[in-house]
Structure 1
Amino acid sequence: MPRVADHEERRLQVAAAVGRVIAAEGLNAVTVARTAAEAGISVGLVQHYFRSKDEMLLFAYGHVLERFEQRVTALIGSAEVVGTRIEHMVLDALAESMPLDTERRQDWRVALAFTGRAADDPRLGELKTAALNRTRAHIAQAVVNAKECGEVDAGRDEHVEAARIAAYAEGLTSHLYADPEGLPPAAALAALADHLAGVFTGVCTLRDREPGERPSAR
């Protein structure tokens, strides 16, 4: 009997193949047969782990969201160790979801494809809604922490600020993906940094990066 770890590893292998197909050819190109070929396994093996294409897509979308959140968690953990200003933690975390380079552009292409399908698939829609809720909650918590350390004025409402920041970042991301020449990565980052600077106006003692420094497009 296969180990649970082997079972999960195979499902992740299929999810990664789905992502590559979407990035190269779009969501409509995803079939069980095409995914199996991309993953280098048999159609029967894919069907052993996923009873239908919709089930396979649901898992793949969840994997995309989880992978992004894992990167952000690792980034924030490293930043906390060196005492990075909270404003810059938020900037770096949001930058992870922006198509600033080839790798992140591919990730966003996959996420965008699933977002479109989520409008007609309630299960995908639930994953999307949950991800948005978590994003706003994380930003709101960052604002709360920043109020406690002095980076954000105590009178600001963390939920209102979280909604504004999330919406602003998502808007920049859409423009950056659709028109990278009209809105280059550096300009998008500068705009987001300026928006955050209007919220995080105070001074915190925990700081290792000057206000003008921004995350690079890898």
Structure 2
Amino acid sequence: MPRTADHEERRRQIAVAVCELIAGNGLDAVTVARTASTAGMSVGLVQHYFRTKDEMLLHAFNEVSAAIRRRADERIRAGIEHRRPVSYVLTEAMTEFLPLDDTRRTEFRVTRAFAGRALDAPALAKVDIETARRLREDIARAVHNGKECGEVEADLDPWPAAVRLAAVTEGLAMQVYRDPAGVNGVSAAELAASVIEAELAAVFTGECRQYARAADE
């Protein structure tokens, strides 16, 4: 049976409720009863869509991941439209994974809760691993594109660079979450930008020939 708009809206409302509970009180606060109350639904209706807590958590994780990717994709589209270098576009995309505002802090708590739960749930672990793999693939593709346009040295292997940049993004997200106000008078946003800039500068060492040629024509 095809899913209706009403069906998808209720599933979205449940995902929002799960995120609110995790953001406010952690993963242990997520139960079918509390989720139903937060979403303004009956327990029976929530159970109609999700039989277990893990199913609700998986759906919330997928919703959050999709939201992050939509924003990152929009940054990428804007960068291409405005003829920005690959390094600039990648900087903008990586920033969307950092908890620099209330929305992204909530998303970070959900993804961390999911990762913790996945340690003991193989089905969830598979999704968590695949999500991380996609991030590495996206970064590796950006590095490869940088090689084609001259921003990256031709003999540089994109995959080690992608693993390092993904690790930097994940670790930086935790640092920002722990100290949202920043460190030693420097805001979290400024610190994050400087770390990303330094890491990308080690990979994107050249200038973009593609846009330079276009400017000369």
Q: Same fold (TM over 0.5)?
A: yes
Does 2:138 match 1:138?
yes
Between the aligned residues of both structures, percent identity stands at: 47
> 1:95-143, CA deviations, whole angstroms, 9 ceiling, x for partnerless residues?
1011112221221122111111111111221111001110000000001
Match of 1:195 among 175, 199, 207: 199
What amino acid is the match of 1:87?
S
What stretches of structure 1 move > 6 A for 4+ residues in a row? none
Aligned to 1:172: 172
- The 1-side partners of 2:53 and 2:167 are apart by 32
Higher relative contact order (CA 8 A, sep 6+): 1
Closer/same/farther in 2, CA of residues 171 and 3 from structure 1, 3 Å limit = closer
Q: How many residues get paired?
A: 208
Q: 1:30-69, aligned counterparts within 5 Å? A: 30-69=30-69
User: 1:57 deviation in Å?
Assistant: 1.6
| RMSD over aligned Cα atoms | 1.9
Is 1:126 aligned to residue 126 of structure 2? yes
Unaligned runs of 5+ in 2: 212-217
Map of 2:29 onto structure 1: 29
For each residue in 1:17-57, what CA deviation from the matched residue of structure 2 results, as whole angstroms up to 9, or x when unmatched?
10111011111000111111111111111111112222222
Between 101-110 and 190-199, report the one with greater CA deviation. 101-110
Q: What amino acid is aligned across from residue 20 of structure 1 in structure 2?
A: E
Aligned residue for 2:46, secondary structure, equals: helix
TM superposition shift of 1:149: 0.4
Moved more, 118-127 or 137-146: 118-127
Which whole-Å CA distance do the structure 2 matches of 1:195 and 1:38 have between them?
Answer: 41
Whether the aligned pair in 2 keeps the contact of 1:58 and 1:123 (CA below 8 Å) is: no
Which sits farther off after the overlay, 67-76 or 125-134? 67-76
CA contact (8 A) 2:147 2:154 kept: yes
CA contact (8 A) 1:61 1:124 kept: no
Structure 2 distance, partners of 1:10, 1:22, is 19
Gaps of 5+ in 1: 208-218
Which residue identity does 1:116 align to in structure 2? G
